[in-house]
Amino acid sequence: MMNRQIPILKLSLGGLLSRSLLIFFVVLWTIPTFGLLVSSLRDKDQLRISGWWMALQTTTVQEQGRTVTGVAEERDGLYVLEGRVIEEEDTKRIDTYGGGFLGGTLDSYVPDQPLVLESGYTFELNPDGSYLLTSTEPFEITRGERFFYVATKPPRFTLENYERVLDGERIGQAFINTVTVTVPATIIPIAIASFAAYAFSWMEFPGRRFLFIIVVALLVVPLQMSLIPLLRFYNDIGIARTYPGIWLAHAGFGLPLAIYLLRNYIGGLPREIIESAKIDGASHFQVFMRLVLPLSVPALASFAIFQFLWVWNDLLVALVFLGKRPDQIVLTSALRELIGSRAEDWEILTSSAFISIAVPLLVFFSLQRYFVRGLLSGSVKGG
């Protein structure tokens, strides 16, 4: 009895170990994405002073305040000048203040307690950042007086970062441009490759094997080798810097892999199904549309994920064949310019980055059930 239980125990321990490793790697890859999402929703001030893992904690900041300039107004026998050092919609609350024209240090004074200065002014600061500067004599501030304060800020999540990016940083237009490039550049090679894969698998014609060898050989050719010749050709025929031009470029670069995967998958379909359809009088087109195409959905989905992610994240081909015009710039190019010009504005960079990965994540998770099945079948089955 013990000898029979030992293999079962080993198997369960092995299964537990493999599942634990799988969970570990899933969490390891998920943490950066989750952190990016949290950072993109945080208040910009909190994002600059603490990491995303502190998003639920109250933060403490040390800042500089400056009084407004102007002539004091008379109120009930006193001359008053009022202002704010914190905006009304801000959730910060001042704990202590001091320094500057007030004297003392950051923790010398607390809000809601009037402070009589040596100059004869009375300064009263409230926790929300509003203040009153009063005197019994008329006065005018021609240059804002500086002081410092310590404030606490509760956790705050907002969509303002996304609104700012989509409205003012050209990311919204770049997102639309990227969709305009990616969707046709994914559909076109799939449509062409599926027809070609069926022909290589189930049709007899001269040079079939030789042509397929050429397709396989093209898999190892770097696309950078063809950029300049192809751009010159585009300039000659007048489709440079146009969407059809970049659609055809992406389709051409993706066709070898698409044909290879789909040919191996379609060639591995049961021969009896194809022959039965031909006996019933079906043409090659009917067999392809009614039998082969529905059965090839896993392979089509696996390549669609590959092609979509590759085109969506592409920068080089988009720069060569589209450029950086505002009506054609893609997300990767727009993000590159943001990093160069707004490298310190983390709220803009994080929200822009999450916008760029949201659609690929959605596409992958919606098609992931076909991904492994179609990829493995297309890579090991031969015709």
At residue 128, the pLDDT reads 93
Q: Which stretches of 152-220 are DSSP H helices?
A: 160-168, 171-202, 208-217
At residue 166, the pLDDT reads 80
Q: Is the Cβ–Cβ distance between 81 and 138 less than 8 Å?
A: no
At residue 25, the pLDDT reads 87
Q: Over its length of 383 residues, how does the chain's per-residue pLDDT go in tens digits?
A: 444 544 444 457 777 888 888 888 888 888 988 998 999 898 887 888 788 888 888 888 889 999 999 998 998 888 999 999 998 888 889 999 999 999 889 889 999 989 998 888 899 999 999 999 999 889 898 888 899 999 998 888 888 888 888 876 678 888 899 999 999 999 999 999 999 999 998 888 898 889 999 998 988 888 888 888 999 999 999 998 899 999 999 999 999 999 998 898 888 888 888 888 888 888 888 999 888 988 888 888 888 888 999 999 999 999 999 888 888 889 888 888 877 677 677 888 888 888 888 888 888 888 777 665 555 554 444 44
**Hey, is 340 helix, strand or coil?**
helix
At residue 346, the pLDDT reads 80
DSSP states of 75-116: ETTEEEEEEESS-TT---EEEEEE-GGG-S-TTSB-TTS-EE
Distance CA 354, CA 27 (A): 18
Q: Where are the domains of the chain?
A: 2-55, 59-153, 162-380
Rg over CA atoms, the chain: 33
At residue 379, the pLDDT reads 44
Burial of 246 (0-12, 13-18, 19+ CB in 10 A): buried
Question: Given strand 130-135, what is the order of strands in its sheet?
Answer: 73-75, 78-84, 130-135, 122-125, 115-116
At residue 180, the pLDDT reads 94
Strand partners, 71: 140
Show the tokens assigned to 203. Answer: 């049709």
Domain spanning 162-380: which superfamily? MetI-like (1.10.3720.10)
Kindly report the pTM of this predicted structure: 0.73
